[in-house]
């Protein structure tokens, strides 16, 4: 989980975690990054691990599969990266995440939850801290405003669909148009989304590195 430290810039860290498998979500109040290294699910909430274990075991026995939601967070990105129209940071992140196999949806910050959050709460207000520096009161925008980084942590989530490689027979058609059944044999993961965590981290790191180099080439070093 040190892609950002090694490849992007000093002080930048990119980390990922699984936040949901099937209908079972983590308790975000229990979020603890080091826990992601202590279980095979990249789960930041230790209490969800046995729940996911039992759920996936039952899913596998039923000959089915489950989807997952992965969250990628980048800390230490300065304000000013990206663009308001072309080279928007959020659009490039969305494109990168959607290019991962089996990904079917991407959201930045609070994402689709913003549909039911009132505007008076959704807007990330700015105030001055005790040292007179501007700070945000929230981060619903996921660290990106108008396509440009705000200096807050950049948060991105994507959903990986349940794999179609399952033991249960499925209806399909042959190349000459006849109905038939297809059965996938062999060993297959009941949830491939777990494997997408380091891939999502890498995609986030690549986009941020590209944006940082582009900004330095066009505008000079940040800071």
What span, in angstroms and rounded, lies between the C-alpha atoms of 7 and 197?
A: 17
Q: Residue 4: is its pLDDT beyond 70?
A: no
What span, in angstroms and rounded, lies between the C-alpha atoms of 96 and 165?
A: 24
> pLDDT per residue over 137-192, tens digit each?
999 999 999 999 999 999 999 999 999 888 888 899 989 999 998 888 777 789 99
Average pLDDT, the chain: 91
Mean pLDDT value of segment 71-83: 95
Q: Residue 50: is its pLDDT beyond 50?
A: yes
Phi, psi of 135 (to 5 degrees): -135, 155
CATH code of 140's domain: 3.60.150.10
Q: Which domain holds residue 119?
A: 3-219
What total number of domains does the chain contain? 1
Q: Residue 6: is its pLDDT beyond 60?
A: no
């Amino acid at each position: 989980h040190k892609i950002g430290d090694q490849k992007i810039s000093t002080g930048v860290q990119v980390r990922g975690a699984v936040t949901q498998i099937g209908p079972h979500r983590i308790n975000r109040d229990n979020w603890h990054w080091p826990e992601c290294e202590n279980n095979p699910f990249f789960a930041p909430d230790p209490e969800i691990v046995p729940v996911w274990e039992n759920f996936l075991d039952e899913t596998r026995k039923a000959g089915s599969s489950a989807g997952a939601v992965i969250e990628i967070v980048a800390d230490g990105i300065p304000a000013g990266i990206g663009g308001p129209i072309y080279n928007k940071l959020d659009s490039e992140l969305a494109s990168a995440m959607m290019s991962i196999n089996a990904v079917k949806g991407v959201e930045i910050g609070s994402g689709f939850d913003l549909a039911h959050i009132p505007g008076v709460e959704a807007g990330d207000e700015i105030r001055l801290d005790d040292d007179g520096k501007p700070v945000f009161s929230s981060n619903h925008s996921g660290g990106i405003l108008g396509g440009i980084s705000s200096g807050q942590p950049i948060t991105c989530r994507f959903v990986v669909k349940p794999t179609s490689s399952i033991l249960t027979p499925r209806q399909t058609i042959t190349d000459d148009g006849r109905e038939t059944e297809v059965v996938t044999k062999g060993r297959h993961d009941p949830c491939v989304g777990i494997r997408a965590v380091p891939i999502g981290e890498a995609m986030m790191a690549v986009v941020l590195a590209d944006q940082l180099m582009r900004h330095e080439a066009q505008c000079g070093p940040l800071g």
